[in-house]
Structures are given as C-alpha cells and as structure tokens.
Amino acid sequence: MALGRPAWEPSGLVREEVSGLYANRAQAHMALQQWPEGAVDTECSVEMKKVGNAKAWWRRGKCLLEMGRLEEARDWIAQSLEFEANEQDLLGLKKEIDAALLKKGR
C-alpha cells in the first residue's frame, strides 16, 4: 500500500514509510531465522533511508553474520558506521564479526 501512493505525494514521506515497513518485515524474518529474506528487506530499508536507520543497518549485518558471510558483514558494518558512527549496537556487532573472522583465520 505504501508503494502505491500517488506520484504527487512527497517522495520523502514514501521513502520514510517504506523504510520502516521493510525494516519491520526484516525483523519478522529474523525471528523465523530466514536470514536471506531478512538481509534483502534490510538492504531495501537502508536504500530508502541511510541516516537514522541504525536498526536496519544492524539487522542486515546480523543476517550476513548468521549466514556465514563474514567479509560481507564486515564491509556492511564498516559502511554503516559512516552514517551511524556512534551507534553502540553497530559497534558491538562489529566486534562480534571481527571475532568470528579471527576464529576462521581471515
């Protein structure tokens, strides 16, 4: 429904609404351990709203970590910190990813 808004409505409103919807659906996928689906939805959420969307950044990083895509998760979180530099959850996930990479010897 959010994507079907009339073209005359301000695009910022549509982007804000769609961003939240994708982020929330990603959380539902994560609760069901549907990591690929969650990763896709969070990427869509971040594309709609990069700044002020730390939850979506974190959720995609967590999905990538759970899928074992450690290098991609590291790169994603590094990019997220460019937009959300002081977000403690992102910094914590970065440490978790770095630890997993060290354990795998990468």
In this predicted model, what pLDDT tens digit does every residue of 34-79 receive, in sequence order? 999 999 999 999 999 999 999 999 999 999 999 999 999 999 999 9
What's the fold here for domain 2-69+80-104?
A: 1.25.40
pLDDT, tens only, 11-39: 677 788 899 999 999 999 999 999 999 99
- pLDDT in the model for residue 12: 72
Return the number of other C-beta atoms located less than 10 Å from residue 7's C-beta: 6
- Spatial neighbors of 102 by CB under 8 A, at least 6 apart, are none
Going from N- to C-terminal start, the domains of the chain cover 2-69+80-104
- Spatial neighbors of 98 by CB under 8 A, at least 6 apart, are 74
The answer to pTM > 0.85 is: yes
Give me the half-sphere count of Cα atoms (radius 13 Å) on the Cβ side of residue 98: 8
- pLDDT in the model for residue 3: 63
Distance CA 45, CA 18 (A): 7
